[in-house]
Amino acid sequence: MKTRALLVLGVVFFGSFIGRIAVMAADAMAENDHAPADHAATPVADSCIGGELAAAVKDRMYALDQRETKIADREAELKTYETQVDKRLAELEEANNKLQTSIKIVQDGRNEDIAKLAAIYEGMKPAQAGDIINEMDAKFAAGLISSMNSEQAAQIVANMDSQKAYLVSVILANRTQGE
């Protein structure tokens, strides 16, 4: 941003300088038109613009043109990078949406499977279901029991080993508090 502002200021000052030179040249020509005939043949070499100054101005113009070209090239390169980043962001968002959809499908399937399993255990005799659930991982057993009808779940827990029933109850209580 600063570079562009400096470039614009340089061009403005240079344009002002060229305008000033043009005015001075016009004044010098006007003086030569009104001067006696012997001075009319005198070259404009006596004016304030010498060969060194003109060469310096020309070199500065060339340097400014080169710099402007480099800046334009850099801007085009940055625009290309910006386009690539935007494209990658869109791809990532699309991939994230697909991932979220897949996660939801898996979670829904898992919940459906647990609901079916809970229905199977609800249909069993509480003593049989309690014996089987005693052998399960406590966290899985807690999830299974939480999916059951509360009356059936109470009867099954009553038929479970007291240590395991306590552990499952603590897990269920912690889940409730965490929500």
Q: Is residue 141 part of a domain?
A: yes
Q: What is the DSSP string of 52-120?
A: HHHHHHHHHHHHHHHHHHHHHHHHHHHHHHHHHHHHHHHHHHHHHHHHHHHHHHHHHHHHHHHHHHHHH
34 within some domain = no
| Enclosing domain of residue 169 | 124-179
Rounded mean pLDDT, 112-138:
91
User: Hunting for tokens 């390169």 — which residue is that?
Assistant: 77
Residue 31's pLDDT band, with cuts at 50, 70 and 90, is low
Torsions phi, psi for 36 (to 5 deg): -60, 165
- Could you tell me if residue 104 is inside a domain? no
Q: What is the pTM of this model?
A: 0.48
Q: Residue 179's pLDDT is what?
A: 55
Q: Identify whether 151 is part of a domain.
A: yes
Residue 13 within a domain: no
On whether residue 61 sits in a domain, the answer given is no
44 has pLDDT over 90: no
Q: Is residue 140 part of a domain?
A: yes
Tokens (6 digits) for 85: 């980043």
57-98 confidence digits (pLDDT tens): 889 999 999 999 999 999 999 999 999 999 999 999 999 999
Identify which of 168, 162, 175 has the alpha carbon closest to the alpha carbon of residue 138: 168
Number of domains in the chain: 1
